[in-house]
Chains A and B, each alone.
Chain A
Amino acid sequence: AQSVAQPEDQVNVAEGNPLTVKCTYSVSGNPYLFWYVQYPNRGLQFLLKYITGDNLVKGSYGFEAEFNKSQTSFHLKKPSALVSDSALYFCAVRDKSGGSYIPTFGRGTSLIVHP
């Protein structure tokens, strides 16, 4: 079985400050991990993914995420937040060894960046 948890429903940060959106996962084998962003009335847009290799993954719009196997986490980070980063963020996981192509998404975290 695979699952993902986003422990914060909402994250508030001031523009220019660093931001972190948390994600932890559970899989039987090794994970594929993804972050997506959703703006109002829009579908999900891909930000970044961890498949293998370097634990620090860099993605679109200055976002990055660090895969931490011992803590089973994949937190999303950005050094300096923009008001335009305000949106809903989803973490997703898929078990590499499961043979299924179906990811499991978290419930989402609403990021609010204040001017």
Chain B
Amino acid sequence: GAGVSQSPRYKVAKRGQDVALRCDPISGHVSLFWYQQALGQGPEFLTYFQNEAQLDKSGLPSDRFFAERPEGSVSTLKIQRTQQEDSAVYLCASSSDPSTDTQYFGPGTRLTVL
């Protein structure tokens, strides 16, 4: 079946612009995670949804970052007033059972803020 998809794959933004990154999880997966991966680093947790409920947003670096999953499937990560330090790859992952199951990752969106 189809895996996790993300769009756009690449995004270039001028500093101060708002961006929206989309994640389509595997159909039926209850849990959805967003991560930020800086160059040469491992993924860093941003936020976690179970269905439409955002259960953990402790990793969001500032109030410029906002995520939603209104119908419990597609999720959008929005970054307002982008800064150069926001440049990174943003990864989305989904799983059917977060307690023991594997997270399946999308290809990521590479955001470059100029």
Residues in A lying within 8 Å of B, measured CB to CB: 32, 34, 36, 41-46, 49, 51, 90, 92, 100-108
A101-B4 contact, Cβ under 8 Å, with A41-B107, A46-B104: no
New A-B contacts (10) at CB < 8 Å, excluding given A43-B91, A46-B103, A90-B43? A43-B107, A43-B108, A44-B93, A46-B102, A92-B42, A100-B56, A102-B59, A105-B42, A105-B43, A105-B44
Count of chain B residues with a beta carbon within 8 Å of a chain A beta carbon: 28
Q: Give which listed residue, B40, B42, B48, B59, contacts A90 with CB less than 8 A.
A: B42
What number of residue pairs across chains A and B have CB atoms under 8 A from each other?
Answer: 54
Residues in B lying within 8 Å of A, measured CB to CB: 4, 6, 31, 33, 35, 40-45, 48, 55-56, 59, 91, 93, 98-100, 102-108, 110
A51 lies within 8 A of B103 (CB): no
Q: Across the interface, which residues of A come within 8 angstroms of B41, CB to CB?
A: 107-108
Q: Across the interface, which residues of B come within 8 angstroms of A104, CB to CB?
A: 45
